[in-house]
Chains A and B, each alone.
Chain A
């Protein structure tokens, strides 16, 4: 999960777009998908695109920027890949299988755990004093007790897995003859080394909340062990990039041209030139391994290319969306995204350009200060929720490009997140409708019971660099001010300043309402967990110290456990209960579901479709045989 600004996003890098969910596959989120007849494809040319910001680092494990992932996904590949609907396909792995699932809980690892003392940091927090990556902690650990912590680190995890103590076991068989950009062949050892790079990195939390251990078995087999039965294990764990040894063993954050190291993987493009703050150039990898004949799942024409057909990709970094739009019209670039809704209408009406909209993996949300009176009362929060004019926001501000978020679950994650999405939307609509009368009733009840004074002050906050978003919050402010019970004000901040405030541990005490975007993936879990769970407090995205035991239990039951790991339908049903509780709790109000719109020069670019997450918007467009997606240029 990551926080979304406008076109730029801050966040977990690679956790969203690279996932998938396996099994049933969802509905294609790409609207009006264009297809290409392989016979028409013209080879060669340079694909030129502009994105909102440059990469924080090319070192995947240390990156927290969604736009850096766009570049990572051109160079690196993982064991699996997903299509636009979230279905998982074996990629560097020829195939994978779930070998075993066992009813294991964290306490079952007690015998393998070691005792480690706590130490106090400068700001007074108690942390476990070890340099080794912690895989899991004993549930009974208590820093206040004065006892040492009991933890399972990566040192002991291998023993537990070898002894048969694990929740799940997956076996991945790798393709033979896959070469890295440095010419070496990929083996199972490279996979293990690459996963080891995640240890103690920026992304370690996202992997070690589920992963137990990974082991090589010969040159072409890898065993992945999971801590507990986890229905989203493959989605969350199997897509991490695989590097050659010389890259995998670099010091932390060193896999970056600014550190003198060229990032290398097995991907379809090699990094050629990088100018910080300006542009990056990739060239097609001559020895790219992929062949449609190697993949059982490929059902397209035998003429379909075995890799991208463009020779070069030039990506420039342009922060102003109006400047990107101007560059597109001047013919300086072939593709961009993240343009304002009013501009998109012009592109849609133009014969020279094509808009490629896709239901995005994310939503905007307003988080209520649930610990500050009078917002502690659910009825006040629900009243505010009824005063959010979602349909006006979608129609008037986004010109219909985005859709009202009647439910927190975006359609891209609907495949595993519910058994009946239409019903879920229908139920949510009633609950989230713009209804001044209902809002008045709710707030009057709450005021009568508690004797609070009106008007209730509501301080709204959002990031200033996204015009459509500011207008959205202005409209919410206006709608609240139309009620005699509320008096709303609006403050805006630069994106990174705002994020800085939200991620502080004091924010929840200020009684302010934060409006921001969330960028997720195909896993429904994060859309509820990241904005409610105590695990996400002062991180993305529980800023208001929301804590609800019932929801936490429902969430756990929907993802972890032998039953849900083996029964997708049961999992869908369990998530229904999650969404019901989310609405009931009303700790967040959801604005619109995002729509990602790639805009291309139609006279040059053929076949481009937009991926639901920005994180693979270019790589997916250029070559994604799982959706028979390919882009070629006619210049």
Chain B
């Protein structure tokens, strides 16, 4: 008896008895036809039925495919993508081609469907390749900012108290700067280039996501399943990322899908201001900057509309399509977020 002291023995809960007992009714698993439909499945089904969103998705997919396969992609000297859809190299000035009669601002023709620019380069090839920088920066920036903002906001919201106080005041500080002006300052300090632009938009961009996710988490963490997980001794990390975040992430996804377009516009805006990329880089905003002066011509001169319409149109179509996708995601997830996430760029 003494060796059993202090130990509680509960009987009557033998699992074998439960699993091996006779069924109490005729109910069997699978009787409802495969279980309840998952949240993400339902969202995808709804999204698919949204025609506007699907048009947007197709446009973005086509643009991404075109820009990816416009010219071969080399990484560290190895060609990883050999296909070349663009008829000319985007940097290639046809002035230097022997026998070429290409001039500055040649109008659209069969050889050059979008005409040529001031340096005698094929606009069609440039517009195709031009998406690479803009689109990829859009996705990379949103991936980074949403990811960081998610973790940041989740930590602040979950712990609350002074941790929340300090972290959210930092967010307020970031919000105190106009995003585009902050991006300008960062580019002025770091200089132009791909990763510099990513930094310029990522630095002010994460704060919006952090605030959004914090707000969601404040409400989600009150739920009983959270309390239950905590009571069962789950670690904070797993409570946050396995129980809270999946239930709070919908508005963030909506916002992220809308923000990609905003970042693309922001990159184009900096390019138009002559910042971001060196002149001559095939990037939509930089191309617009180079043709800005054509808008005022001499007497009787006609504006070479193709020089501005095509890169400008590419920006418009991409951003429009992204917004259509964003709206579709919003409807599909039923997020109904009222929080306006500030994002770097065209605000």
Chain A residues within 8 Å of B, Cβ to Cβ: 321-323, 325-326, 329, 339-340, 342-347, 349-350, 352-353, 389, 392, 396-397, 399, 464, 467, 470-471, 474-475, 477-479, 481-482, 489-492
Contact = CB atoms under 8 A, between A and B. Distances in A.
Given A339-B298, A342-B104, A344-B298, A464 B91 contact: no
Contacts of A323: 296
Contacts of A477: 280
Nearest to B299: A350
A479 to B, nearest CB: 6
A326 B300 CA distance: 12
Name the residue among A342, A346, A397 with the largest chain B CB count within 10 angstroms.
A342
Contact of A492 (B119, B274, B297): B274
Contacts of A397: 104, 118-119
Name the residue among B103, B118, B274, B290 with the largest chain A CB count within 10 angstroms.
B118
A389 B95 contact: yes
Nearest to A399: B104
B50 interface: no
Interface string B244-273: 000000000000000000000000000000
B339 to A, nearest CB: 39
Interface of B: 91-93, 95-96, 103-105, 118-120, 274, 278-280, 290, 293-301
B299 A478 contact: no
B278 A492 contact: yes
8 contacts: A322-B296, A392-B95, A396-B104, A474-B93, A475-B96, A475-B119, A478-B280, A492-B278
A425 B280 CA distance: 32
A492 B293 contact: no
Nearest first, the 9 A-B pairs at minimum CB distance are A346-B298, A346-B301, A350-B299, A322-B296, A343-B298, A474-B280, A396-B95, A392-B95, A347-B298
Nearest to A342: B104
Nearest to B191: A491
Contacts of A482: 96
Contact of B297 (A321, A343, A471): A343
Given A346-B298, A350-B300, A352-B299, 10 more contacts: A322-B293, A342-B104, A343-B297, A347-B298, A347-B299, A464-B279, A470-B280, A478-B119, A478-B280, A490-B280
Name the residue among A350, A352, A467 with the largest chain B CB count within 10 angstroms.
A467
B102 to A, nearest CB: 9
B43 to A, nearest CB: 46
Nearest to A321: B293
A396 B298 contact: no
Nearest to A345: B298
Contacts of A340: 293
A471 B119 CA distance: 6
Contacts of A478: 91-93, 96, 119, 280
Contacts of B120: 396
Contacts of B95: 389, 392, 396, 475
A481 B118 CA distance: 19
A477 B120 CA distance: 14
A467 B297 contact: no
A479 B119 CA distance: 12
B299 A353 contact: yes
B298 A350 contact: yes
Contacts of A491: 278
Given A322-B296, A346-B297, A467 B118 contact: yes
B274 to A, nearest CB: 6
A469 to B, nearest CB: 10
B105 A396 contact: no
Given A389-B95, A481-B91, A346 B118 contact: no
A349 B301 CA distance: 9
Given A389-B95, A492-B274, A329 B298 contact: yes
B13 to A, nearest CB: 74
A347 B299 CA distance: 6
Contacts of A352: 299
Given A340-B293, A342-B105, A474-B93, A349 B278 contact: no
A392 B118 CA distance: 13
Contacts of B299: 329, 346-347, 350, 352-353
B299 to A, nearest CB: 4
Contacts of B118: 342, 397, 467, 471
Nearest to B274: A464
Contacts of B96: 389, 392, 475, 478-479, 482
Contacts of A475: 93, 95-96, 119
A490 B91 CA distance: 13
A92 to B, nearest CB: 40
Nearest to A322: B296
B279 A490 contact: yes
Contacts of B296: 322-323, 325-326, 343
B286 to A, nearest CB: 11
A606 B96 CA distance: 41
B71 to A, nearest CB: 15
B130 to A, nearest CB: 16
Contacts of A326: 296
B298 A325 contact: yes
Contacts of B297: 325, 342-343, 346
B303 to A, nearest CB: 11
Contacts of B278: 489-492
A322 B295 contact: yes
B83 to A, nearest CB: 22
A353 B296 CA distance: 16
Given A346-B297, A347-B298, A467-B290, A396 B279 contact: no
Nearest to A326: B296
Contacts of A345: 298, 301
